[in-house]
Structures are given as structure tokens and as C-alpha cells.
Structure 1
């Protein structure tokens, strides 16, 4: 495949997320500029990833470089301009994809909130490999059907969301090991009285620092994580055993039947007894909170 390919797709179907355009370019001309002011269409989002050389983007009163391994993430409706500088020492080589649809805009807002308008990914990362796959699918197999391309766009977007969450939660190997140690302890001891002080002692960390670390990684507090595990265990016992409800509450770490009933109703909008009997609405042996 030559290193200047580009494809555009036009459709009036707004019910699905679709590929607007995609390609691979090598820019060396000084007049290369893409400005939101000159675009006739404001209905899509732009992802442009630098393979070599460097471009720039003016956005939100900032001038941001786009070096190798970095991608531009903008909505066409946002005031911006990305371009190649005349005094650059090498061409700006990049791959891009523009995607149309309300869901694409929603995901773009999420990614920009997490990482900003310029994000970093490796050339061999799943996100960039999947982008090459989309280009190859069109180039080699002449795939132009909007539904097949929509499937590709959705899969690529899911990878973007996943890797964006991982980038936001990047906290280092030691911290990840500590959090896994904390989670394992709660999974194994949910039936016992577990406090933040006990968790901090087990992980050999200050409890306030442990809370911040856990929240950043898991998007939930340690004690909320513990409560999820306790409710999961209770749901399974209610559906798969004949144990009295008061005993199930104790076995799952709840200090009293009334507290067990209160927390259970917050999760399931019904009492433990009602859940045990309600096999039609909830025909499951287990429910998991992740």
C-alpha cells in the first residue's frame, strides 16, 4: 500500500456511527492547514496520529505540538486549526480517521476531558493497529458498505475508550501491585469486620493515600468495593441456599439484619426476602458489580 491513500464516505443515515473519512498522508507543503472555520461540515470528530515528523494544532488559546506517537483529538465543531510548519526539517506523516455520529461526539468529549486534545499512543498499540486494519480493509478488500465500516468504527472507538481509561489510571507497577493486594484481601475477608485502618496496615500504606490511590485506579473507594463484594456474596447465597436471611447477612459481613436489609434494598430496590422469591425478574444464580 502506498503511503498516500484517503477515502471518504457520504451517507444521510444519522442513526449509526459511521466512518466519514480515513487515510494515510505524508505532508511537506507549507500551506497544509485544516481550520474549523473553513470546514463546511461540523458533524464529525477527528483523530490524526503522527507517524513521523511533526505538526501543530491551535486550540483553546494554545499551540500544541503533534510529534511522533501523538494524536490530535478534536471535534470539527470546536474552533481549531492544525497545520504543518514551513521550517520543519522533515515531512509530517500521519494516519487519520474522521467519524460521524452523536455517539462519536459523546466519546470524544469523554476522551478530551480525560487526556486533552493531544493524546499519546505507541505505534504498535491496539488503537493504531486497528486503525491500520480499517485502512487495509478498504484498500485491499474494497469494503465500502456503511454497516461493515460502522462495526469497525464502533470497535475502534471501544479501544479508544479503554486505552483512555488506562492512560488516565496509569499509576505505576508498585501501586498496581498494592491495589491488587488490597482487593484480594477484601475478596477473601469480606465476611470479617474490615476497616480502612486494617486495609492500610495490610498494604503498609497511610489510609488516606490508599484511598486516593484506590479511587484513582478503580473509580470507587475501597469500602464501596468491599460492599460490592459483600452484596455479590449475599445475592448468591440467597438464590443458591436455604440459609436464613439473618445468617446470610452475618456471613457476608453485615453487622446487623437491619443494616443488611437497608444496604440490600439500595442495590436491588427490594428486600432480601423479595429477591429470594423473585426468580422471574432476576433469574440468576449470581450478579456481579464491576
Structure 2
């Protein structure tokens, strides 16, 4: 059973992302203070997230409280100071430290969007993936530096994906609904799919589906469906000898004229021109995700 613990990793390999340390900790001592300008360990980035209790961080002279559901992102060294103030409830946190140029780049992107203090739901993919990683390490099944590098990078991409704008973090339930809708559209793009049928499949109303989809994908469900239809058409134009009208039908477009219009918007040429221009456009498939 997973319990509060911490793990450190040491390697001289700077060619990949490396996990420096990771842990789950209960803090109840006012001696817990970390000054980002005075730490002996440098060259890494830190993510620390509050599960319960309350902590504090000062960044560039500005003080932030860190209640449950919030986390901070800082680099070492930098002008920051995080600490615990004695109170009835301990400060329960999870954290990880990462080394590598890509970690620094992604930290900068997220801090530019959200600031040094971010908010994520406890059931968000970012936190769920953290627990999966910590469990694997605690069980001894995830210790190889290359495996760790892959998992850390996947975790950072999840963090980046949910940091589009303040307040756009995705819960696990939202991700499940959106993934279900995407899977349905990928499997049924050839059929006369409507917003109502997609929402019905997900057992929610169409307006709520549109809000969730926009939040998660920055596009509408029907625009996502159109992308999948064009992808399918591109593939069929190159891998079959079917007439354009047949491909139009098999990809779910209402009419050849509408198919031609949409295809030109994506490819700046007609379907027939794409089929003929194999040298200039030697692709059997093109993806818009």
C-alpha cells in the first residue's frame, strides 16, 4: 500500500530528461523552509502540490497561499521561498524535481500562462499520472532512467495540455467524456453523425458537450469530426481508385460539392488534384490532431 515516502535518483546523463526526486510528505514543522537562492542543489525545476493543509510561497517578493488543490512551479536557483507555518493541520504535499532543458522550457510556458501558482483538481490527469508514477517507483518496477524519462515527459505534457488558460484544468470525468466523444467520431465518421447523436452517445446534452470539448480541445465536436473525415478522404484518394463521389459518400460528406469545398479549405486544392499530385504531396495519410 502506498504511503508517504520519497525517492531520489542520481545520474550524470544530461542528454535526457531526468527525475531528480519525487515524494509524498506530511509537513508539521515550522523549520520546513526552502530558499531558492540558497539551496545547495541546483539546476532543476520543482512542482509541489497541496493535498491538504496549508503552505505558503513567496516568489519575487509576492506571497501566495497554497491550500488544497493548488501547486507551485519554480526553478532552482530563483527568487522564491516556500514554507510551513505552525497550525493544527499538517501540510500534506506531493512533489517532484526534474532536470533537463525541456523541463525548463515547459516550466516557462506554464508559468507564463498561469503564474507560479497553478490549480488542478485532485482527480485531474496531472495528479492521477503523478500517483501512477510514484506507485511504480515505490514498487520497484519503475527505476530505469529511460523509462522514468518517458514517464516524466508524459506527465509534463499532461501538465502543459491542461494549462491553456487559467481555470481550464480538466477533471478525470471531463477527460473521459471527451475521449468517449472523440472515439465515437473516429469510429462513425462515415455515418450521418450529428451533435445530438454524439451527445446522446456520451449521455449528456449537446450544449454541455460543446463546453467540455471546447475546454479540452479548443475546438468544437463537429470541427473535430470534419478533421477526421478529411483525414479519411486523403487516405482513400491515395490508396484506392474509387471515384471522388464514392469517397465523398464513404467519408460522411453530404454532397460532392460540399466535400470539394471543405477539401480545398484544408489542402488548397481539389480532391482530384491531390490524387494527381503524388510527387509534390507524397502522403498516404495526413493527420490534423
TM-score normalised per structure 1: 0.66
Q: Which 5+ residue runs of structure 2 have no aligned equivalent? A: 195-204
Helix, strand or coil at the partner of 1:289: coil
Change beyond 3 A, Cα 1:226–1:39:
same
- Equivalent position SS for 1:168: coil
Instruction: Give 2:283's aligned residue.
Output: 282
> What RMSD over aligned residues (CA atoms) do the two structures have, in Å?
4.6
SS at match of 1:271: helix
Encode CA deviations 1:45-67: one digit per residue, 9 max, x unaligned.
11123344321111255422222
* CA–CA separation in structure 2 for the residues paired with 1:41 and 1:81: 15
Name the counterpart of 2:197: none
Structure 1: how far apart are the matches of 2:259 and 2:49?
56
Counterpart of 2:129 in structure 1 is 127
Matches within 5 A, 1:165-180: 168=168, 170=170
Equivalent residues of 1:123, 1:129 under 8 A apart: no
Structure ID, larger Rg: 1
Distance 1:235 1:17 in 2: 36
In structure 1, the partner of 2:108 is 109
Count of residues paired in the alignment: 264
Deviations 1:67-116 (A, max 9, x none): 2343322233543211111x422332323210001222233234445554
Q: Which moved more, 1:210-219 or 1:150-159?
A: 210-219
Q: CA deviation at 1:150?
A: 2.3
**Counterpart contact for 2:245–2:256, Cα < 8 Å:** no
Q: 1:93 to 1:274 in 2, by over 3 A?
A: same
Task: State the distance in 2 between where 1:142 and 1:249 align.
Answer: 48
Task: Give TM-score, length-normalised by structure 2.
Answer: 0.66
Distance (Å, rounded) in 2 between the aligned partners of 1:214 and 1:142: 33
Three-state SS of the structure 1 residue aligned to 2:37 is helix
Q: Secondary structure at the match of 2:25?
A: strand
Judge conservation of contact 1:115–1:168 (CA < 8 Å) in 2: no
Does the CA contact (< 8 Å) of 2:6 and 2:21 recur in 1? no
Question: 2:234 matched to 1:232?
Answer: no
Instruction: Quote the Cα distance in structure 1 between the aligned partners of 2:232 and 2:9.
Output: 52
